[in-house]
Structure 1
């Protein structure tokens, strides 16, 4: 993913940021408001590492997949669904009905 995806959808990335850096604080993230330099400095301070090391850690995080619930774009969603297939057990289809999870209503 690119930084502009993060910046444009900043608050939608909070969960992904906190997954990667569990000590991150939403109030602090609110103050950063998508500013890349401020985020690098924040992660460096949070993880007690040099700024360059924090920048590299963030770069590695950005190399991952864009979370499917961040950008509402059918092309992105379809790509995310296809990519999720690598995490499914053999014989299971990424397009299978997910009714067993209990989040489907009668019209879904």
Structure 2
């Protein structure tokens, strides 16, 4: 992914950032507000790294996939579905309708 994906969807990346750098909290991320330079400094301070080491860690992190709730377009969704095949059991199809699980006919408490 590119940094602009992160900056444009900053709050959507909070969970992924905190998973990668547990010493960072949401208040820190609110202050950074998607600014790459501030994020590099935050990672360097939190992880007690040199700035270049922090940049390298962030570059490595950026190699990962964009979280599915960040990019909602057909091409990305289709790729995410195909990638999910590794989590689907043998004999199942990741494109199958889930109606066979029986929850499609249930009415929730709101009557919907």
| TM alignment of 1:23-102, pairs within 5 A | 23-97=23-97
How far apart in 2 are the matches of 1:61 and 1:92?
31
Aligned to 1:9: 9
Displaced runs of 4 or more, over 6 A: none
SS at match of 2:23: coil
SS at match of 1:93: coil
SS at match of 2:94: coil
CA RMSD across the alignment? 2.6
| Cα-to-partner distance string for 1:28-77 (whole Å, 9 max, x where unaligned) | 10110000000000001111111101100000000011111112212211
SS at match of 1:66: coil
**TM-score, normalised to structure 2's length?**
0.80
| Equivalences, count | 107
How far apart in 2 are the matches of 1:99 and 1:30?
40
Structure with the greater alpha carbon radius of gyration: 2
